[in-house]
Structure formats: structure tokens, C-alpha cells
Structure 1
């Protein structure tokens, strides 16, 4: 945890990217759970990718590791970053691959409202958590109530989809900060022609900054409330062997005041910012299985206050370029890998530039029917508000395995490693966070599921104490 006044903030565009590609893991689990009722049925047919999906800030393609997955049976184990447990995260790249499994198979039919179909899910879980930071430790027992729903149009042309999720925690005993969160995202797809598609998107997210996050305030009674507002517009064009996309994202983040343990209040106003990003991608189809691509983005982040409380100008320009290959070998193996470079050029010359090599990718592998494996790589920049420190470059490696033990019983194993690398002359120390979790989902019927999860998280720092968090939970999910 950072000392008081030693805070950092995740850049809008980078945070959106981080939260976006992790959604592929949730989508994979959701699809896998959906087919739990029909193990003996033939596998779904492969869906060919004929266009590109622009990387917008609120694409409902959908779902950071710190809470018990209580919202639905398809959620990941609690040790992973909360972003894994969220629905509405966009694809990591503009040509993100679609899921190969039919998400409707074996699921509750939903409620028809005119030309829309509503699919709600209500969950309640009983959890126990133990946190240790150096020699200090605390534990709590809490109930977590989750409400999740999707509203999708059933139109012959165009489509409107709204995906929402809300989670409330209520401590029953012990000490520990409650972690409420909410997400709502909407996307309108306009089929302008057979080759051209436009997308308009909007979204809102609420969360509390994690008490163990490097950005948190050390002596806070309750961490800052973070509100994120998103707007996006994109156009995709398929020209046969060549496909392209262009999108514009806007994101605003605001941070609430923090109450300190000495009774005073620390304003976080200097962290509020607006970020706009323009992203373009061009791909060429060598064959239906191989599509090399180039992707570039440019953005501007402007803080509400020209100078932060330490007197630094934190606004910046962002630039990124990547080259990669998309591989589609059918439902058994598909994914993509890209190499590139990202940089933030801060307005204050005393801070210098923040940048580094980026490695991003995602591979979906199904070694046999009933088993799905996801591998993910992500690079993002995280600017800081620590005096003289421009920020860090972060690398994340993720692995998620789901396996159908029986037609109605699904097991999940998930692991992730995050490396946070600061410049050599920075006051902050490098750190590594490892998370692992396991879970079971028993579909007692298409409307009711029993879930159980256990997870462990450890953060090692070059300077300062290490921290550990252990969680276990059991719950019920009611679907309609």
C-alpha cells in the first residue's frame, strides 16, 4: 500500500484495455457453464470472423481480481482481479475473436419483453476472508448479494444490448473493508450494409479502490470511490481480404474523498481526468486461419486540475503501435499475439516519458470436449502521482481452465501473475502479485446453481512487507 500522498492512477485508456481483454475469460466460463446441461450434445459450429471489432471503451463483449465470484455460477474464483468477475469488458484488440460455444444452450430462457429478452440472475454467497500485511492481519465474514442481467433485442436488423451487474457486501463479523461495485454497459450495433457495421456504446462503473492496491491511501478508513463514465463510437469495414476499423473512445474517471484514521479528509480531486483515444486497425486475410494486422492508437488525458497536490502537471499524450497475427484453427484452437510499443508523454518535463515494449495476446484451446483453456498476456502503463515518478509498466499473465466433471458439474482453476516495473530511479519499488483460485458450480436445474470457491493472493515487494489474502465462499444463484 502506498504511503499517504504517494498515490498513482491508472490511465483511462490503459485501464480500459486491461479490463477489456480479461472479459474473454469470463465469456469463456459463461459459455462453458451454459453447456453444462448438454454434455452429450454435439459441439457448436465454428463462428467465422468476417469483420473486426473496434476497441471501444464500453463494448459489451465483456468481463480485476479481488472478490468472491458471487454474482453468477459462471464467475471466476474470487482470487482473480475484479475485472475477471465483470461482464462488460471490450475485446483487447479491434479484431478480437468471437466465442465458439453457443451461450444459449442449456440456459434459462429469460423473460420476453416486447422485442427484447431479459435474462436476470440473483445470487447470495456466504464468504470468509483473511488478510495479512506484514505482521498485521485481520479477517472478516460477510454476505455478498449480486444482481446481474442482460437485455437483448430480437430485431431482424441491428441490435441493442444492455448488460448490468451490481454487488453489495455486508460484513457479519470481523474487520475489513466492504467492496461494492456496479457495472452497466449498452451497445447499439447498426448494420449499415453487408460490409459495414457501426457501433455506439455507453457505460458506467463504480468500485472502491482496493486497500491492498499500490494506489491506495495507507491510513484510510475507507478507500476512494471510483466512478467511470464511458462513451464510444466505431465503424468496421470488411473489404474481402482486407478489413479495417476505426473507433473513438471517451472516458471520465472521478475519485471520491478519503476519510483518514485521524478524522481528517483527503481530497482526491487532483486525480479526476478525461481521456480520449482514437484507435485504428488494419488486417489482411492470408487465409481464413491466418490474419496479420497492424494497430495504432493516439490519445490525450487531461486532468481537472492542471497541477496535482505535489505541483506536477500529470496530463499526457499517449501513443501505441502493435503488429500481430490472428490465428483461427476452429473451435479447438484460436487466438492472437501482438508485439508493440506504448508510451505516455507527460506534460511535466521533470517526470520524463513513461513507455516500454508491449506483449499482448490471447489463446483459447480446447484439448477435448468439456475442457477449455485460456492463456492471456497483457501490457499496460500506469502513471503515478508520486513525486518525481512517472509511473510503471505492468505485465500480466493469465491462465483459466474449466472442465466438466459431469453434465451438471463444472470445475474451474485460474491463475494470474502481475509484474509491476518502475523506472530504476523511481522511489516506488517493483512488485509481483500472484493469484490462484478454484471453484465448483453445480447446476441443480437450469434455474438454480450451487457454487463454491476458494482463492489465495500474494504480493511481494522489493521494498516493504508482503501481503496475503485468502477467501472461501459458498452460495446459490437463481436464474430466470
Structure 2
């Protein structure tokens, strides 16, 4: 089971775990890219920024110690989500769902969205950017509900997708409906934010697996005395595993549906020039059966797992703009079944440490860079430990008014469920450029590469995944956007056929 795809047919990329892997061009654009400076305000209370994975994640320093599917660190996709959300105070806020950041409507896969939006684990949230003066790009007023404000949106798009693996070619056209909502409290002290989004697809021609997804996350920020901020988080994520995932079932007509439950807590406190953070994340992943092309099913309950991750960070404030830090993480993953279907004990531990620096030069440049070391070991002595030096960076740069450049580099260990394989090291680089062409027109370009570096004693060869995408969003008025996207993905392998995917689509987004 779970043999990595080498020569089998590639199905459409889809919402997979908060892992930053096998991404489709389109997801990048749909992702929460940095909002253009004149139309998107940054929501500091829910700074959840990718990655997920994915990410489906997207991937970061908040959870570098558990097991993960190409997300930010070594945790599972669910653990990664819990850890990163719990550290809200340490990351840049995501653009508000109604402020124009959803530049491509809903036609793209979430795995790239997470790759593009991994939250930078910085100890300062990004300041709110000035909203555009133009009414067409201003944030929608939302719907008042007591002491809360609800901002919902619905996007309907029509898309075409072509995948090619060697001599095998598949093409489909499909409709996709996306619904999203953000509920934010309007309290004088503390803040509760609940975000949700879901996608439903319906093929109208051709062949290809439909990719439903849904997730909801909540973050309660507690403003405590003595310069202390705490976060309590919880979340749920549903998605269908991507056929391009190395652990996907080869030749399956429908991959496994995955459910992830997360919970987390973090506390950050300033001690004069010192800043300390402690965060705990818990996650639970449940896999359904996969259906083969002949109608039979494959039970994947041996992948069900629970992960806990503990992280600590200490920063020294040389100045408000420069904060060196050191960080350590430790994680534990326990599978429901002691041995998987191939007889391997996959439960294990993970460890990570790094040092780096946080930079805050206002709206021009903000983020962090860190170098360190990560390791994952397993209870089965037949599975060799994986360790690697890590280099992580997450920077948001605004060279001129109306232009944002988001640079994201991640190193993570990705365990495998393939018999005899421990996993591999993932190196993921993504760059996103968002530019406001006019008051009501925003263009985005995204490029990324993922290197899956397998151990020298592995029977699987390294892979490289290249993605490129571009998109336009036209704000017809405050409540309606027209979106368009175009993208391409190429996966190269030393052995086996290369895979390609092309996707294009247009959509309308109604928001309130």
C-alpha cells in the first residue's frame, strides 16, 4: 500500500493535508497571498498564514517537531495546523477574506495555497495596511451579529484541467463552488475569530477525481496582564488525499478521505528586552478507505494517528526592528495500530532546534530567517532515522506602494507509509508577487519548486516539482469580484515518466 507514484497516472491535484507538497498551479493563486497594499487589510487577530497544506499546508517554526506531510516542520498536517494557529501572536496576520486577497476565486487546490501561505513564526503581527480609498476595493461592512461581525463569501467558477503522465492523458471541465466566512468579535479586550471555508466540485465533462474540502478554525486571544498574550485554538479539516501524494494508493479510483482535528494553546510574554513563547499543539488524523478502479476497497485505518508537539522560543530585542531568537521543539506521534499493514511500527519522536532573527522594518519588510537541525526517529529499528540541516525563511517585502513580494523557504522531514521507507526531506521554495494594476484590478504571479530528497539507501529516487501560476482579480464593486487564473505544474523523476498539469478558470465571487 501507499507506493509512491512513479509511472502511474496522475490525477488532479487536490486539497490534501497541511503539507506543502505536490501542489497544483492553481492552488497557489487561490491561496491567502499577501493582500495588495491598497485593498487588503491584515487581520492581526487571526494571523494564520500555509501552508496547508496544505496545504492542505500548508508548513514553520511553530511546529517543527512532530510528523508532517510537507508542511511547516515535522508535524502531521493536523498538528501543524494546531501549532501554527496556537501561535497567532507569532505570525503575520492573514489578509481578511473579504478584502480582496482571494485573488483567484476558488478554482485552485489547497495544497499550493498552503505552500504559498505558511505563517512566518515571528513574534510580531503585521500592522494593518491602509485600506484603499476606492470604494470598489474597500472591505465589505459585514453582517453585525451581537458583538460579532460576520463576513461571508461565495465563489462560483468554471475550470478546465489537463493532466499528463507519460503517454497517459486526462482532461476534465468542472464547476467549483466555494463558500467562506469569517466571524470576528468586536470586544474591547480579548478577541475570538472563527474562519471557515469549503469547496465542492462537479465534473461536467471528461474524467478526473472531484476534490471536496472543508475546514473551520477558531482562535481565542486572551489579553492578560504583564504584557502576556495567550491563544486557545481548535480546528477541523476535511479533504481527499491527493493522488500525487507519495503515499497515495496507486491506481485508486478514489483516494482516502482525511479528517483532522486540532487543538492548541500558546502563551507569549515580554520580559523587558526578552520575549518568551511556549506553545502546545495536539492533533488527530483519521483516514477512510480508498476505492480501487475494480471497485474493491483498501483499508487505511493503520494510518490513523495522534500527535503532540511542544515548542519554546526565546527572543532578545536588540531593537524593535531586530530580534535574534533561539527555538526548540519536541514531538511525539502515536499510531492507533502498533504495526501498519506492512508490519512496520511507525510511531516515533521528532526533535528540532534553530536560531535566527526576526526583522520588522514596518510595511517595507517583515519576517524571519532561521537555520537549525531536525530529526525524526521511529520505534521500528528497520526504519532508519532521518535528520537534516534546516533553512527556513518567511519574508514579506513591499518595494513600492501597491506591490507585495512574499518569499517563503521551508525545510521539513516527511515520513512515509511505504513498506521499508522512512521518508524524505522536503525543500520547498515559493515566491509570490502581488501588484495592484489599478484601483480595482490586481495581478498575481507565483512560482515555486519542491525538492523531495530521499535518503541514499532509499529505493525511491528524488523528485522535483515546479509550479507557475498567474491570476487577475477585478473588483467590480465592493461586493462582487471577477477572477481568472492560469497555471502549470511539472514533476520530474529520475526513473519513470514526468508528470504535467495545466489548469485555467474564471469565476465570480460574491461577498458581504
Give me the TM-score of the superposition, normalised by structure 2.
0.82
Output the aligned Cα RMSD.
Answer: 3.1
Matches within 5 A, 1:357-372: 357-372=389-404
Matches within 5 A, 1:334-349: 334-349=366-381
Matches within 5 A, 1:252-263: 252-263=284-295
Residue in structure 2 matched with residue 34 of structure 1 by the alignment? 39
Residue in structure 2 matched with residue 12 of structure 1 by the alignment? none
Give the whole-Å Cα distance in 1 for the aligned partners of 2:158 and 2:100: 14
Q: Give the 3-state SS of the residue equivalent to 2:477 in structure 1.
A: coil
Matches within 5 A, 1:153-192: 153-192=185-224
CA positional deviation for 1:97: 4.5
Give the whole-Å Cα distance in 1 for the aligned partners of 2:197 and 2:400: 32
Q: Which residue of 164, 182, 194 corresponds with 1:150? A: 182
Against the structure 1 CA distance between its residues 306 and 198, is the aligned structure 2 distance closer, same or farther, given a 3 Å change threshold?
same
Give the whole-Å Cα distance in 2 for the aligned partners of 1:452 and 1:23: 13
The unaligned stretches of length 5 or more in structure 1 are 7-14, 37-43, 64-69
Against the structure 1 CA distance between its residues 100 and 71, is the aligned structure 2 distance closer, same or farther, given a 3 Å change threshold?
closer
Residue in structure 2 matched with residue 237 of structure 1 by the alignment? 269
C-alpha contact (below 8 Å) 2:98/2:140 kept by paired residues: no
Residue in structure 2 matched with residue 58 of structure 1 by the alignment? 85
C-alpha contact (below 8 Å) 2:256/2:290 kept by paired residues: yes
1:71-93 CA-to-partner distances (Å, cap 9, x unmatched) read 99523658976245369977342
C-alpha contact (below 8 Å) 2:33/2:116 kept by paired residues: no
Q: Which residue of 240, 254, 262 corresponds with 1:222? A: 254
Residue in structure 2 matched with residue 95 of structure 1 by the alignment? 123
Query: Are residue 193 (structure 1) and residue 225 (structure 2) matched?
Result: yes
Residue in structure 2 matched with residue 389 of structure 1 by the alignment? 421
Residue in structure 2 matched with residue 75 of structure 1 by the alignment? 102
C-alpha contact (below 8 Å) 2:287/2:303 kept by paired residues: yes
Q: Give the 3-state SS of the residue equivalent to 1:270 in structure 2.
A: helix
C-alpha contact (below 8 Å) 1:72/1:148 kept by paired residues: no
User: Which runs of 4 or more aligned residues in structure 1 lie more than 4 Å from their structure 2 counterparts after TM superposition?
Assistant: 15-19, 22-28, 59-63, 70-73, 76-81, 86-90, 102-105
CA positional deviation for 1:427: 1.2
1:199-247 CA-to-partner distances (Å, cap 9, x unmatched) read 1000011111111222211110111111111000111101121001101
The alignment of Structure 1 onto Structure 2 pairs a total of residues equal to 452
Give the whole-Å Cα distance in 1 for the aligned partners of 2:464 and 2:115: 26
Give the whole-Å Cα distance in 1 for the aligned partners of 2:449 and 2:116: 22
Against the structure 1 CA distance between its residues 54 and 392, is the aligned structure 2 distance closer, same or farther, given a 3 Å change threshold?
closer
C-alpha contact (below 8 Å) 1:252/1:274 kept by paired residues: yes
Query: Are residue 291 (structure 1) and residue 320 (structure 2) matched?
Result: no
CA positional deviation for 1:26: 4.8
Deviates more, 1:91-100 or 1:390-399: 91-100
Against the structure 1 CA distance between its residues 371 and 5, is the aligned structure 2 distance closer, same or farther, given a 3 Å change threshold?
closer
The unaligned stretches of length 5 or more in structure 2 are 7-16, 22-26, 48-60, 64-82
Against the structure 1 CA distance between its residues 84 and 151, is the aligned structure 2 distance closer, same or farther, given a 3 Å change threshold?
farther
Query: Are residue 467 (structure 1) and residue 499 (structure 2) matched?
Result: yes
Residue in structure 2 matched with residue 352 of structure 1 by the alignment? 384
CA positional deviation for 1:57: 4.5
CA positional deviation for 1:333: 1.5
Give the whole-Å Cα distance in 1 for the aligned partners of 2:30 and 2:394: 10
Against the structure 1 CA distance between its residues 16 and 172, is the aligned structure 2 distance closer, same or farther, given a 3 Å change threshold?
closer
1:111-144 CA-to-partner distances (Å, cap 9, x unmatched) read 0000000000111001000010111001000000
